[in-house]
């Protein structure tokens, strides 16, 4: 039996294979808290039921020892999860000694150095299960909308947005490749072949940032749609976010409760989201007393202030062309403004989605590449997309860890991925 299915086995004899989380004794009874990866269950061991030898083995079990228990499931409203296991037999697979993470308080660095063990904790398991649900919901949403998953390379010969935030990699002989910071350029090619596509995988940013919103390795889903404009892609983003939220609320209530997450704000999220132009966002920030100048990019305090201004997620549109990547299409009649959007999550979690409409004119794209001082020869294949059947198209990228952090109510992205990579964190 897997513990998550315990309600199906009331009154039945079962076997549970797992690990010991905690043990306490009361006279001739041991109470063992067991986990098996699917959940947690309290097992009751009495000397009369298992005999002196097995009872003695249970008395000397230490935290994280691997054990197999046999017994009968019994409903008990007082027990965690509403069920207990009356043990009839106990096998010790391996005895753990001096498990380093105890119920006492530990510092963040101590826990991060032992992340491979920390993920066994109930809170961390809840986060990672919600992460799984988010990823599954993302795939289901796009698949149900007729999108095709088209993977893009992790090794790239050129940068998507310039090389300043890329990790260079020696690629045989004297060639230099880069770890991708986005699959978008290749995804545009995929969209010209398949119409509606998405790529989903790890991305890498060599930004020397130490904020709670940044990782150097993170996962991103990126849809791209042929014959789509900015409004189309905003609607797609709204549908994706609301679908993911609804799925997690429906399927992971137990995990959200374990995290003590106040879900009231999540339950109120509906589409369409609030929309505000970059121009109006600057005005709002100034009214709030923040010294923000038009033309700058929003930092974390700015995004937090904007998200607090609205009841739910907000779509900020029309960022200055100068602060966006070379491929963003400018507005007609106002070339200093791009056809772009960022979706900001409420509760101070900031940007979770960034995207917009791409330049579909060959001459303009060539000029933008030159203005960004990028090597034109490296983008000849990308320019081919404008030479041979160019159409309006748009897309975005959504960071999985940022969405998980928001849904779970986490203070830092480092808990939203099993093994975070940060400026000073490459172990374990």
Rg of the chain on CA atoms, in Å: 26
Tell me how far the alpha carbon of residue 89 is from its chain's centroid.
Answer: 41
Q: How far is CA 284 from CA 27, 234, 295, 321, in A?
A: 65, 22, 15, 20
What are the start and end residues of each CATH 3.30.930.10 domain in the chain? 115-415
**Averaged pLDDT for residues 373-380:** 91
Tokens 């409409």, residue located? 357
Q: Of how many residues is the chain composed?
A: 428
For residue 196, the SS3 value is strand
Confidence category of residue 174, pLDDT binned at 50, 70, 90: confident
**Averaged pLDDT for residues 71-76:** 97
Q: What is the pLDDT of residues 122-168, one digit of tens each?
A: 999 999 999 999 999 999 999 999 999 999 999 998 766 666 689 99
**Averaged pLDDT for residues 382-393:** 98
pLDDT at 163: 61
Q: 3-94 falls under which CATH superfamily?
A: Nucleic acid-binding proteins (2.40.50.140)
Q: What phi and psi values does residue 43 have, to the nearest 5 degrees?
A: -110, 135
In whole angstroms, give the CA distance from residue 338 to residue 325. 10
In whole angstroms, give the CA distance from residue 417 to residue 428. 13
Partners of 117 in beta bridges: none
- Range list of β-strands (E), 189-255: 196-204, 217-226
In whole angstroms, give the CA distance from residue 256 to residue 249. 8
* Cα angle 99-100-104, degrees, rounded to a multiple of 5: 110
* Cα angle 392-339-301, degrees, rounded to a multiple of 5: 145
Q: What is the pLDDT of residues 13-67, one digit of tens each?
A: 999 999 999 999 987 899 999 999 999 999 999 999 999 999 999 988 999 999 9
pLDDT at 213: 84
In whole angstroms, give the CA distance from residue 356 to residue 134. 23
Q: What is the pLDDT of residues 276-328, one digit of tens each?
A: 999 999 999 999 999 999 999 999 899 999 988 998 999 999 999 999 999 99
In whole angstroms, give the CA distance from residue 159 to residue 375. 10
CB 150 within 8 A of CB 187: yes
Tokens 């748009």, residue located? 394
Q: What 8-state DSSP symbol labels residue 119?
A: T
**Averaged pLDDT for residues 413-428:** 96
Q: Would you state the structure tokens that stand for residue 246, as one six-digit string?
A: 């609804």
What are the start and end residues of each CATH 2.40.50.140 domain in the chain? 3-94
**For 115-415, CATH number?**
3.30.930.10
CB 306 within 8 A of CB 324: no
Q: Are strands 83-94 and 66-75 parallel, antiparallel or unpaired?
A: antiparallel
Q: What 8-state DSSP symbol labels residue 181?
A: S
pLDDT at 72 over 90: yes
pLDDT at 242: 98
pLDDT at 380: 95
pLDDT at 211 over 90: no
- End-to-end C-alpha distance for the chain, whole angstroms: 32
Q: What is the pLDDT of residues 215-252, one digit of tens each?
A: 999 999 999 999 999 999 999 999 999 999 999 999 99
pLDDT at 210: 84
Lowest-confidence segment of 156-170, 202-216, 279-293, 336-350 by average pLDDT: 156-170
Q: What is the pLDDT of residues 85-121, one digit of tens each?
A: 999 999 999 999 999 999 888 999 999 999 999 999 9
Tokens 């893009």, residue located? 152
Tokens 């020696």, residue located? 170
């Amino acid at each position: 039996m897997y513990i998550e299915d315990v309600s199906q086995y009331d009154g039945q004899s079962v076997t549970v294979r797992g690990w010991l989380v905690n043990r306490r004794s009361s006279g001739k009874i041991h109470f063992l808290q067991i986990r098996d990866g699917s959940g947690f269950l309290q097992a009751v061991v009495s000397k009369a039921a298992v005999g002196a030898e097995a009872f003695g083995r249970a008395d000397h079990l230490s935290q994280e020892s691997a054990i197999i228990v046999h017994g009968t499931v019994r409903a008990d409203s007082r027990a965690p999860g509403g069920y207990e296991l009356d043990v009839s037999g106990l096998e010790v697979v391996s005895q753990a000694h001096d498990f380093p993470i105890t119920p006492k308080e530990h510092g963040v660095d101590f826990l991060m150095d032992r992340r491979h063990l920390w993920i066994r904790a109930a809170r961390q398991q809840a986060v990672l299960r919600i992460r799984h649900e988010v990823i599954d919901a993302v795939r289901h949403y796009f698949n149900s909308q007729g999108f095709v998953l088209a993977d893009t390379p992790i090794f790239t010969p050129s940068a998507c947005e310039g090389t300043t935030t890329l990790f260079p990699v020696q690629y045989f002989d004297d060639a230099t490749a880069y770890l991708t910071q986005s699959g978008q350029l290749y995804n545009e090619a995929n969209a010209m072949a398949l119409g509606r596509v998405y790529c989903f995988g790890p991305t890498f940013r060599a930004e020397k940032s130490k904020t709670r919103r940044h990782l150097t390795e993170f996962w991103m889903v990126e849809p791209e749609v042929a014959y789509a404009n900015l409004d189309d892609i905003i609607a797609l983003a709204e549908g994706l976010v609301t679908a993911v939220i609804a799925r997690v609320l429906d399927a992971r209530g137990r995990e959200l409760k374990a995290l003590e997450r106040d879900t009231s704000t999540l339950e109120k999220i509906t589409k369409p989201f609030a929309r505000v132009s970059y121009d109006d966002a600057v005005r709002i920030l100034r009214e709030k007393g923040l010294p923000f100048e038009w033309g700058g990019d929003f930092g974390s305090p700015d995004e937090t202030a904007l998200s607090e201004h609205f009841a739910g997620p907000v779509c900020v549109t029309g960022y200055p062309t100068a602060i966006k990547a070379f491929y963003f299409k400018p507005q007609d009649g106002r070339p200093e403004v791009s056809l772009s959007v960022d979706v900001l999550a409420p509760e101070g979690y900031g940007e979770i989605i960034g995207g917009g409409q791409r330049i579909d004119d060959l001459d303009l794209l060539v000029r933008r590449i030159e203005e960004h001082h990028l090597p034109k020869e490296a983008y000849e294949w990308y320019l081919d997309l404008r030479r041979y059947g160019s159409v309006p198209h748009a897309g975005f990228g959504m960071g999985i860890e940022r969405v998980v952090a928001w849904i779970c109510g986490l203070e830092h992205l480092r808990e939203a991925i099993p093994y975070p990579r940060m400026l000073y964190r490459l172990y374990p």
